[in-house]
Amino acid sequence: MTERPRTPAHRRQLAMAQPPLADADDRDIAGFLDAIWAEHGLARPTLDSYRRDLEGAARWLRPRGTWLADADRAALFDYLAWRAQQDYSARSNARLLSALRAFFGWTLRHGRRRDDPTALLQPPKLPRSLPKALPESEIEALLAAPDDSTPDGLRDRAMLELMYACGLRVSELVGLPATGVNLRQGVLRVVGKGGRERLVPLGEEARHWLERYLAHARPALAGTRAAAPLFLTPAAEAPTRQQFWRVVKRHAAVAGIDPRRISPHGLRHSFATHLLNHGADLRALQMLLGHSSLSTTQIYTLVAREQLKQLHARHHPRG
């Protein structure tokens, strides 16, 4: 009997212990990923997520006598039901179903099969969760936490300032090239999801810390090596998303913020929420965040509304 994966970390350990993928499944998944990358220019993290989900499905289906590309609706339904029994989250299963729909859409377009087994599969209902934004006072404490007398500390301060000032995604921040910054004009050129490019103003504080980083910390981190990324590790490479996560957690602890209440994406949520609280236009916020749809941006109005209700309840005589 397969051991039940209790946590995401445990699931990753079990996944690493899985047997190699069958050749036919491996070829199909690789062909699909190459095709959607060429057609849609999806970012590497998205492609990696698709690969993990599809490989997991293929490994579950193969001992049951079917290749992934030949699976019928009943087999896919059984796999989703098994995942639900293993305590995979509704969000994780919804992401898997999205990957399967994209994969079987590809098999249809390329004549591999004539039907789509995902057509009648219903995605799980997702709980509506509001973005978690920190109060402005805690953001200020977090930004002040790094020791800017060291190259690493100055880099961390510049990264935190830039992420909060520009509302960047983590992947956008760590992947910034040095050529993406125009200090003279005070703007940042960001390539977001789907390869969409946008210009984001830096703001005075972020510009100040970025100038200091470029003048003092980056040359020390790069040494004699030519380096294209804007932000560098001591190995003169771009930091990974996981490395930046650890940076945020470490400085949150210094600032007296419970690390469980903060994540790198929380800085982006805080950027959006604080702008709305100070009267920003929703359309302008959509452009700054790089959202393709205004409905994605509108969730931040709910955050601002909740904060107003809490403020009223706390301070109004009849709250």
What gap in Å lies between CA 267 and CA 217, rounded to an integer?
23
**Per-residue confidence (pLDDT) for residue 277, from 0 to 100:** 76
Query: Is position 216 annotated as part of the catalytic site?
Result: no
- Cα atoms in the Cβ-side hemisphere of radius 13 Å centred on 106: 21
The model's pTM: 0.58
Query: Is position 73 annotated as part of the catalytic site?
Result: no
Please list the alpha-helical segments (H only) found in the chain.
8-16, 23-40, 44-61, 73-85, 90-109, 136-143, 151-166, 170-174, 204-212, 218-222, 241-254, 264-277, 282-289, 294-297, 299-315
Buried b (16+ CB within 10 A) or exposed e, 136-148: eebbebbbebbeb
Query: Is position 278 annotated as part of the catalytic site?
Result: no
For 8-109, the fitting CATH number among 1.10.260.40, 3.30.1360.30, 1.50.10.20, 1.10.150.130 is 1.10.150.130
Which one of the listed residues 73, 193, 198, 241 is annotated catalytic? Answer: 193
pLDDT for 135-189, tens place per residue? Answer: 889 999 999 999 999 999 999 999 999 988 888 888 889 999 999 999 988 888 8
**How large is the average pLDDT for residues 209-215?**
95
What gap in Å lies between CA 148 and CA 216, rounded to an integer?
10
- Measuring CA to CA, which residue among 72, 39, 278, 288 is closest to residue 172? 288
**Per-residue confidence (pLDDT) for residue 41, from 0 to 100:** 79
Task: Name the 3-class secondary structure at 133.
Answer: coil
Q: Does domain 136-315 have CATH number 2.30.110.10?
A: no
Query: Is position 132 annotated as part of the catalytic site?
Result: no
Nearest 10 degrees: CA dihedral of 97, 102, 108, 111? -120
Considering 153-157, 196-200, 223-227, 285-289, the range whose residues carry the highest mean pLDDT is 153-157
Instruction: Please indicate whether residue 211 or residue 17 has the higher confidence score (pLDDT).
Output: 211
Which one of the listed residues 155, 157, 207, 291 is annotated catalytic? Answer: 291
Which one of the listed residues 169, 207, 269, 274 is annotated catalytic? Answer: 169
Which one of the listed residues 50, 79, 88, 300 is annotated catalytic? Answer: 300
Indicate the average pLDDT of the chain.
82
Q: Which residues contact 147 (CB under 8 A, 6 or more apart)?
A: 153
- Measuring CA to CA, which residue among 101, 95, 92 is closest to residue 121? 101
Query: Is position 52 annotated as part of the catalytic site?
Result: no
Domain with CATH 1.10.443.10 in the chain: 136-315
Instruction: Quickly state the pLDDT bin for 219 (edges 50, 70, 90).
Output: very high
What gap in Å lies between CA 242 and CA 263, rounded to an integer?
11
Which one of the listed residues 157, 268, 269, 274 is annotated catalytic? Answer: 268
**How large is the average pLDDT for residues 288-311?**
60
Query: Is position 44 annotated as part of the catalytic site?
Result: no
pLDDT for 32-44, tens place per residue? Answer: 999 988 888 777 8
Which one of the listed residues 59, 62, 216, 265 is annotated catalytic? Answer: 265
**Per-residue confidence (pLDDT) for residue 313, from 0 to 100:** 63
Domain with CATH 1.10.150.130 in the chain: 8-109
> Is pLDDT above 90 for 253?
yes
